Structure 1
Amino acid sequence: MIYGIGTDICDVRRIRASLERHGERFAARVLADAELATWRQRSARWPERGVRYLATRFSAKEAFSKAIGLGMVMPMTWRSCEVANLPSGQPTIALHGALKDWFEARALSVHLSLTDESDYAASFCVVEVKER
């Protein structure tokens, strides 16, 4: 059974402007530790790739927060929600701390799709109640 659906579109130019204004502090506020390490690597090799990486993660977390119906209200936080990849490369959400406990207590699972193109990053998220 579907618990919730969320979608988000993010203007990559807005993320770029936030990075220019706030530097790495902005990325550190939005990204979990593993994501931040990946962002640093990508940004060092090709800065634009780092911007797009951050924009897709920002968009995915917004879509997820909408799908679970919390928005950015505790226990949902930027850093407790991590965009990861399954061994197949498929994107997924890895949760930490109180958000993980909240999610598991409701027996939920997540499906995530993300994309970016020129000036925009977009994400679509479906959260389901697992069959018990």
Structure 2
Amino acid sequence: MAILGIGTDIVEVKRIEKLLAASREEFFSRVFAPSEVAYCLAKARPAIHLAARFAAKEAFMKALGTGWARGVGFGQIVVANDEDGRPGLEVTGRARELLDAMGPTWLWLSISHTREFAMATAVIESGVTRKRAATMRRSRNTRVTSER
């Protein structure tokens, strides 16, 4: 197992609140999937959850080593929660191609927020065998958020 990439991002919630107040639909439709917007708008403070998802996308792009370059865009990265509420990433398009080029990988995602800030850390790990992955899934202390 090896860490292939790690990325962290922090977002000021106030920036997202201003975009929401200005009804910047083109921004939200470019950055977030409809499922992400619906999830966040159902929360008491949607801006916090939108900021957290924005930070997660940025963190993943940093872990991938691309930022917004090399054909990778926000729409190719979707943050989705599992049945226990834990966040994970669904990656498509050019971002998926670059991830696949790294070989068999696992994605790890941690998101946290306060009233003022949201942050996320994404890790791309290689070399996880199926046997080890099954053990990791059973552990309450470990979260595998995406697999191939």
TM-score where L is the length of structure 1: 0.84
Give unpaired runs (5+ residues) of structure 1: none
1:1-132, aligned counterparts within 5 Å? 1-40=2-41, 42=42, 46=44, 49-107=45-103, 108-131=105-128
4+ aligned runs moved over 4 Å, structure 1: none
Which residue pairs with 2:137 in the alignment?
A: none
Which of structures 1 and 2 has the bigger CA Rg? Answer: 2
CA distance in 2, matches of 1:26, 1:20: 12
Give unpaired runs (5+ residues) of structure 2: 130-148
CA distance in 2, matches of 1:109, 1:131: 7
Count how many residue pairs are aligned between Structure 1 and Structure 2: 127
Q: Which amino acid aligns with 1:34?
A: S
Q: 1:15: Cα distance to partner? A: 1.3
Give 3-state SS (helix, strand or coil) of 1:84's partner.
Answer: strand
On the 8 A contact 1:27/1:54 being kept in 2, the answer is no
CA distance in 2, matches of 1:110, 1:126: 6
Give 3-state SS (helix, strand or coil) of 1:2's partner.
Answer: strand
CA distance in 2, matches of 1:12, 1:61: 15
